[in-house]
Structures are given as C-alpha cells and as structure tokens.
C-alpha cells in the first residue's frame, strides 16, 4: 500500500466506490446514496478554525442541499472519536456569525489510513502530506463526477458557490443548456450552438423565441427563475 500510486478521478469518471466508518454509521459510497446528487468533500483536520467555520456553514445549509436532492458527505484523515468530539464541541460551544447550537447531521468519514483521501486525490503533498486539502466532488445520481473544486488549507470555501454549482448542473441537465459566467437562476442561459444537438439551422436568423445571438457561436435565451426552480431536486 505504501508506494501505491493512485490516479485521481476526473470529471466524467464514475465515482470510485469505498466502504467507510462515519459519524452516522458505516456507509458504502456512492451506492448508499443512489438516485441522489452527492457532494463528497474533505477538510484538513478536526478542531481547526477554518474547518470549524466551514462545517458550521455547511451544516446550517444542509436542508437547502436536501431540497436539491443532494447528500453531503465529509471526510478527513482524523479518527471517529475525534470527529465525534469535534462535532459535539461545535454544537455545545461555538457561536460564530449568528450560528449556534449547530448540529452536523451529515456523515463525516474517518480515514486514518488515508485510503479514501488518496483514492480521490485529496492528499496533495506539495500542500500537506499528512492532511487532506479542501476538495469538493460533485457527483450526479448516476454516480458520475460532474465537477471538482480544490482549495488550499488556508482558505475556507464559498458554500453559496457550492450550492450554485449543484443548481447549475441540475439546470444544464434538465434544460439542455449551458450556463454563462456568474449565472444564477433567472439569468439568461446559453443555447447549444447551431449544428450541435440536432440544431441544424443558424441561430443568427433569430427565429427561435427569445434567442439573442451575440455572434454565430454565442446565443442566449431567457429561462425564468420559476421554471428553473420547478425542476430542481428532481
């Protein structure tokens, strides 16, 4: 095991499977969460300040992710008793940015052997050989990895952005569109270029309702927030 070289999973790959102990009992990942979107994320260490701020934020948003049919699963290379003690300390002691009595209900994986962390490319020795970086894997209901984000040890993640990624991926799938820079529900979306996805005709004609072309390869159309929201989590 010592010198085993792990290849990192990439966007479009099936999420590697594993069995692990967590604060919510043993899990088979991703199999136990079939039919759901999954966010598998790592943090460097329990009882550290940036990670504590992240867990409080993520746990406070858990219901919002549930509404998006999304299961959160955390991981660090700490043991189960450390995880349990840290989550209890968060609930009983920490008040931060208006959050208090925060209960982390999603599973937090113990990975003292680093087996899962290595399998998912969460150990990046240039940053730390003994702790996981802040990795986030977005995995769809077919267990395919759809997006990956990595942050260094010193920088906490933006959880609104993680939620925006899930919403954007679900919108892209449901409506067959792409999403432009900084897109949020209610903003215009990008329609597939003419000639792709069965669209044979040039869109510069402007013959499709609401479509505006900025050039032959760059066309947008409105998609209302209500329409997007009616499909989220489905």
- Identity of the residue, 49 or 210, whose beta carbon is nearer to ligand BEZ in the bound complex: 49
Q: Are the C-beta atoms of 223 and 175 separated by less than 8 Å?
A: yes
If binding is defined by CB under 6 A, does position 44 make contact with ligand BEZ? yes
- Identity of the residue, 155 or 200, whose beta carbon is nearer to ligand BEZ in the bound complex: 155
If binding is defined by CB under 6 A, does position 49 make contact with ligand BEZ? yes
Name which position in 20, 39, 40, 51 contacts ligand BEZ (CB under 6 A). Answer: 51
Give the binding range for ligand BEZ (CB under 6 A) out of 18-26, 30-38, 43-51, 138-146.
Answer: 43-51
Q: Name every residue whose Cβ is closer than 8 Å to that of residue 225 and which is 6 or more positions away in sequence.
A: 185, 186
Give the binding range for ligand BEZ (CB under 6 A) out of 48-56, 63-71, 77-85, 224-232.
Answer: 48-56
d(CA 94, CA 110): 22
Q: Of 104, 174, 177, nearest to 141 (Cα)?
A: 174
Q: Name every residue whose Cβ is closer than 8 Å to that of residue 71 and which is 6 or more positions away in sequence.
A: 33, 36, 37, 38, 39, 65, 106
Give the binding range for ligand BEZ (CB under 6 A) out of 11-19, 47-55, 87-95, 96-104.
Answer: 47-55
d(CA 211, CA 193): 11
- Residue 197 annotated among the catalytic residues of the structure: no
If binding is defined by CB under 6 A, does position 94 make contact with ligand BEZ? no
- Spell out the alpha helix ranges (H) of 14-94: 49-60, 62-67, 80-93
Grouping H, G, I as helix, E, B as strand and the rest as coil, residue 141 is coil
Site residues for ligand BEZ, 115-144, by CB under 6 A, read 131
Active site residues: 51
Binding site for ligand BEZ (CB under 6 A): 44-45, 48-51, 131, 153-154
């Amino acid at each position: 095991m010592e010198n085993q070289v792990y290849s990192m999973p990439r966007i479009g790959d099936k999420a590697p499977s594993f069995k692990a102990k967590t604060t919510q009992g043993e899990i088979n990942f991703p199999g136990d969460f079939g039919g759901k979107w999954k966010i598998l994320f790592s943090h460097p260490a329990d009882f550290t300040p940036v990670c504590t701020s992240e867990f409080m934020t993520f746990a406070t948003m858990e219901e919002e992710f549930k509404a998006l049919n999304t299961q959160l699963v955390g991981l660090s290379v700490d043991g189960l008793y450390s995880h349990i003690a840290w989550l209890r300390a968060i609930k009983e002691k920490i008040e931060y940015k208006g959050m208090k009595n925060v209960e982390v209900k999603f599973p937090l994986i113990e990975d003292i052997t680093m087996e899962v962390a290595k399998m998912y490319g969460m150990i990046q020795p240039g940053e730390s050989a003994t702790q996981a970086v802040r990795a986030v894997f977005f995995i769809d209901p077919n267990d395919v990895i759809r997006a990956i984000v990595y942050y260094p040890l010193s920088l906490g993640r933006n959880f609104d952005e993680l939620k925006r990624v899930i919403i954007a991926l679900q919108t892209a799938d449901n409506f067959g569109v792409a999403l432009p820079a900084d897109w949020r529900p209610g903003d215009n979306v990008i329609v597939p270029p003419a000639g792709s996805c069965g669209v044979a005709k040039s869109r510069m004609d402007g013959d499709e309702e609401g479509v505006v072309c900025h050039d032959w390869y760059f066309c947008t159309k409105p998609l209302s927030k209500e329409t997007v929201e009616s499909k989220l989590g489905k």
